[in-house]
Structure 1
Amino acid sequence: MQVSVLLYGPPGCGKTLIAKATAKEAGFRFINLQPSTLTDKWYGESQKLAAAVFSLAIKLQPSIIFIDEIDSFLRSRSSSDHEATAMMKAQFMSLWDGLDTDHYCQVIIMGATNRPQDLDSAILRRMPTRFHINQPSMKQREKILELILQDESVDLSVNLGDVAKETDGFSGSDLRETCRDAALLCVRDFVHNESESEDYIRPIQQSDLQKAIEKMKRSKSAGVQGVLLHAALD
């Protein structure tokens, strides 16, 4: 039986990485399908491209067709949709259903989205297996920090447990950006002190991580305020 899986949750929490890791561990070929791949200025070509994707997946099986930001491609249909777009969606779903006719077919459809509520009801029906990928817990954040900083020069006094406590609400992507900013502070000090005796970049210290955390919190706060302001104006 053909399997379809939907991964949903906040942005930056590793949905795409989970899909890639699933393909690697299962020994499946991974086809990362971008919506732009299926769009063409010539009428009818988009349907042919959709058919080509499924034909390729069947030839390469076992394989996974992964659609990132699936809501931007297969969002709820309406009467205002362009005719070519509506036909492409219909063709895609028809080919999708066709996989079920072959009981030996080993093609998995996986999708990832931050907005599952925007998906067409017909798509949700075709993806009964759904996993919510939430933001990491404190222990998970500590493990993520260890992985990010494992190849970096970090001062022995750095306590990643304290950093994990300070980063409540941070996604994996936020943690990576925080560590990058902390490392840049070390590079900045090296550039400013180039005329002095130090000829090496110092290790990342607790204070660097703390400054980077505060910067990320300000950035996230500004983003939330911007969204609220935009909603108020609308």
Structure 2
Amino acid sequence: MEWEISESYRAAKEAALRRKYDQSALFLRTALSLIERRLNSISVDDPNKDQLVKVKSVLKLNVERMNGIADVVSQMRQMAGVTISSSPIDAPPSDPDVWPLPPLTKKTSAIPSPKSAAKKQTYSRVDNKTKKSSVGKSPCTSAGCRNITKRANSLGRASMSELSEVTPKEEGDNNSNEKGGNEKVFDDRGFDKELVEIIERDIMQKRPDVHWNDIAGLDEAKKLLKEAVILPSVMPNFFKGIRRPWRGVCMVGPPGTGKTMLAKAVATESQTTFFCVSSATLTSKYRGDSEKLVQLLFKMARFYAPSTIFIDEIDSLCSRRGADSEHEASRRVKSELLTQMDGCSPDVSRVLVLAATNFPWDLDEALRRRLEKRIYIPLPDKTNRFQLLKLALAEVSIDEEVNLETVADSLDGYSGADITNVCREAAMMSMRVRIANLTAEEIKALKQEEVDLPITSNDFSQAIQNTSPSVSSTDVQKYEKWIHDFGAA
């Protein structure tokens, strides 16, 4: 009997593929009657009874939906005045000496086209009132019909255990679709669902636990970012007209000076919607999708305004145009980014583009003009190095003989990341000396007090000797020259 049920599923699948929904419903009812007969023949204690009951409920749901599809198709044909006959008399004449046309091959793509996305109103978001009002209507909506078609395609391959797993999954989908409509939801009609999900994943839901006080120095950069991001939300009536907020801020400096930390502090302290994107987010192997991603990013940013778009390593996304090695696809992406930032696009006064780069001399001239504020994030001076040491060593114990000011003097030319690495290296020195020549069991038996010893001056000296600065003086001169020529603080 299981073979007969499987054959009925296969026949229902083939009928659904041929768009014979009446026949598909008939085969499903046949399978349903076979399952009912099987349930009547087995005992109450049979271990397969629960599984058969679940399959029966799924089949009933499929039969109802398939009947709904058939009714809707019949109504649409009546409204359009189309009569389709299966009689061979109504078939078009054919010449046996002429070969028929080859069948049309449907090309599929990993990302659906925007036309199909506009026709299929699958992911148009509606509120609870609309959903409740549509409960009593026909069970075949556009989304429902497509779900049934997908389910019919898989009936021939589905086993009894696979069908029993459909019910909890569908219940979970229904629960997820019945969320409250009070939340502000972006209208994604006209865009591919996959592209919308890519941008939504880059909206930072959980704020990073980085505050202004966690960053040593950089007072000018903090002041500018507060003026560009935080103050417009606090004083909206002041930032109007010529006093409008800055639309673009570019942080320029050597690696490891705190540019990304400043962006994290903006995401934590500000009340704006924070988009953290990179070149990987805005690139796609499909032609035209990269431009759509850029357009969709700014459209969503305007919808969730006030918003901040942070683009790290922006030189990899919008380098200088006109180079011999430039690809045509990357040029289109750059043009779309420039248009969205400042062009004939809608008002973007409530959207701030916050960029960071280590290669400012590779930026395109038009992008450099749109990034109105170009600030230099330099290597830390002695005062900032001393603050960095205190922040990095706040959770460890330091020997009383250690003079942090002397250590800060010896770290001239080191970036913030280099100083953090030196502190980490110094904090590990005592542990390395203690566990030398010990086995894993002996190390495990050590007490915390024997390993966690205060950091000494010798530890700092050895750590500084083992760690060289990552930024050369030649690079610093290049940054200073560029900021002197093109800086706007």
Greater fraction strand: 1
Give structure 2 stretches of 5+ with no counterpart: 1-243, 476-489
Relative distance call for 1:63 and 1:99 in structure 2 (3 A) is farther
Q: 1:15 Cα deviation (Å)? A: 0.9
- Deviation readout 1:121-173 (Å, 9 max, x if unpaired): 01111112111111111011000100000011222222111110000011110
- Deviation readout 1:179-234 (Å, 9 max, x if unpaired): 111122122112127569974212211111111111113x64xx86xx9xxxxxxx
Give structure 1 stretches of 5+ with no counterpart: 228-234
Bigger relative contact order (CA 8 A; separation at least 6): 1
Q: 1:17 Cα deviation (Å)? A: 1.2
What's the counterpart of residue 216 of structure 1? 467
CA contact (8 A) 1:29 1:64 kept: yes
CA contact (8 A) 2:339 2:345 kept: no
What's the counterpart of residue 199 of structure 2? none
CA contact (8 A) 2:252 2:357 kept: yes
Q: Which amino acid aligns with 1:52?
A: L
Q: 1:89 Cα deviation (Å)? A: 1.1
Q: 1:94 Cα deviation (Å)? A: 1.1
Taking the aligned partners of 1:107 and 1:99, their CA distance within structure 2 comes to 15
- Pick one of 329, 347, 361 that aligns with 1:84: 329
CA contact (8 A) 2:429 2:459 kept: yes
Q: Which amino acid aligns with 1:148?
A: A
What's the counterpart of residue 288 of structure 2? 44
Taking the aligned partners of 1:99 and 1:53, their CA distance within structure 2 comes to 16
Q: Which deviates more from structure 2 when the two are superposed, residues 68-77 or residues 152-161? A: 152-161
Taking the aligned partners of 1:60 and 1:128, their CA distance within structure 2 comes to 22
Compute the RMSD of aligned alpha carbons: 2.4
Taking the aligned partners of 1:30 and 1:157, their CA distance within structure 2 comes to 45
Relative distance call for 1:207 and 1:37 in structure 2 (3 A) is same
Taking the aligned partners of 1:63 and 1:211, their CA distance within structure 2 comes to 46
Relative distance call for 1:99 and 1:35 in structure 2 (3 A) is farther
Q: Which deviates more from structure 2 when the two are superposed, residues 47-56 or residues 197-206? A: 197-206
Number of residue pairs aligned between Structure 1 and Structure 2: 221
Taking the aligned partners of 1:36 and 1:98, their CA distance within structure 2 comes to 24
What secondary structure, in the 3-state scheme, does the structure 2 residue paired with 1:211 have? Answer: helix
Q: TM-score, normalised to structure 1's length? A: 0.86
Matches within 5 A, 1:103-122: 105-122=349-366
CA contact (8 A) 1:20 1:30 kept: no
- Pick one of 156, 161, 167 that aligns with 2:400: 156
What secondary structure, in the 3-state scheme, does the structure 2 residue paired with 1:192 have? Answer: coil
What's the counterpart of residue 232 of structure 1? none
What's the counterpart of residue 132 of structure 1? 376
- Pick one of 43, 52, 55 that aligns with 2:299: 55
What's the counterpart of residue 77 of structure 2? none
Taking the aligned partners of 1:209 and 1:85, their CA distance within structure 2 comes to 47
What's the counterpart of residue 14 of structure 1? 258
CA contact (8 A) 1:99 1:107 kept: no
What's the counterpart of residue 230 of structure 1? none
What secondary structure, in the 3-state scheme, does the structure 1 residue paired with 2:352 have? Answer: strand
Asked which structure has the greater CA Rg, the reply is 2
- Pick one of 84, 89, 96 that aligns with 2:341: 96
Q: Which deviates more from structure 2 when the two are superposed, residues 4-13 or residues 194-203? A: 194-203
Taking the aligned partners of 2:249 and 2:345, their CA distance within structure 1 comes to 15
Aligned residues with identical type, % of pairs: 38
Q: TM-score, normalised to structure 2's length? A: 0.43
What's the counterpart of residue 69 of structure 1? 313
